[in-house]
Amino acid sequence: MKVLVVDSGGRGHAIAWQFKNDPNVKEVICAPGNAGIALEIRCRNAKKSEEIIDLAKSEKVDLVFIGPESPLTNGIVDLLNSEDMPVVGPVKKASILEGSKAYTKLLCREIGVPVAEFEVFDGPEAAKDYIEYVKYPVVVKADGLAQGKGSIVCTDKQEAHQAVTQLMIEKIFGDAGNKVVIEKRLYGKEISFFVFTDGETIVPMPVAQDYKRAYDNDEGLNTGGMGAYSPHSLEGGELNKLVSEKVARPLIQGFSEKEGIPYKGVLYLGLMLVEETPYLLEANVRLGDPEAEVILPRLKTPMSDISFQIINGVLSEREVEWNQDYYCDVVAAAGRTKQFRNGKSKGWYSGYPARYGKGYPISGIEDINDPDCKIFFAGVSISEKKGLVTDGGRVLHVVGRGRTLQEARAVAYRNIAKIHFEGIRYRTDIGK
Binding site for ligand GLY (CB under 6 A): 148, 210, 224-225, 284, 288-289, 291
Specify the stretch interacting with ligand AMP by CB under 6 A; choose among 73-81, 184-192, 198-206, 331-339: 184-192
How far is 241 from 287, CA to CA, in rounded Å? Answer: 20
**190 belongs to the binding site for ligand AMP (CB under 6 A):** yes
In the list ligand GLY, ligand AMP, none, the entry touching 183 (Cβ below 5 to 8 angstroms by class) is ligand AMP
Specify the stretch interacting with ligand AMP by CB under 6 A; choose among 38-46, 170-178, 182-190, 196-204: 182-190
**212 belongs to the binding site for ligand AMP (CB under 6 A):** yes
Contact 320, 203 (CB under 8 A): yes
Contact 222, 211 (CB under 8 A): no
In the complex, what is the shortest distance from the CB of residue 62 to ligand GLY, in angstroms, rounded to a whole number? 27
In the list ligand AMP, ligand GLY, none, the entry touching 353 (Cβ below 5 to 8 angstroms by class) is none
CA dihedral 387, 388, 389, 393 (to 10 degrees): 170
Reply yes or no: is the peptide bond before residue 231 cis, omega within 30 of 0.
yes
In the complex, what is the shortest distance from the CB of residue 239 to ligand GLY, in angstroms, rounded to a whole number? 19
DSSP assignment of 348-386, as one string? EE--TTS------B-BSGGG---TTEEEEE-SEEEETTT
In the complex, what is the shortest distance from the CB of residue 238 to ligand AMP, in angstroms, rounded to a whole number? 23
Size (the chain), residues = 432
**11 belongs to the binding site for ligand AMP (CB under 6 A):** no
In the complex, what is the shortest distance from the CB of residue 368 to ligand GLY, in angstroms, rounded to a whole number? 24
Q: Give residue 115's Cα distance to chain centre.
A: 21
In the list ligand AMP, ligand GLY, none, the entry touching 415 (Cβ below 5 to 8 angstroms by class) is none
> Under rule CB under 6 A, which residues in 31-90 are in contact with ligand AMP?
none
Torsions phi, psi of 131, nearest 5?
-60, -40
**153 belongs to the binding site for ligand AMP (CB under 6 A):** yes
Cβ neighbour number for residue 115 with a 10 Å cutoff: 22
The amino acid at residue 62 is D
**281 belongs to the binding site for ligand AMP (CB under 6 A):** yes
From the list 59, 390, 109, 121, the residue with the least C-alpha distance to 258 is 109
Residues that bind ligand AMP in the complex, under the rule CB under 6 A: 116, 139, 141, 151, 153, 183, 185-186, 190, 212, 270, 272, 281-282
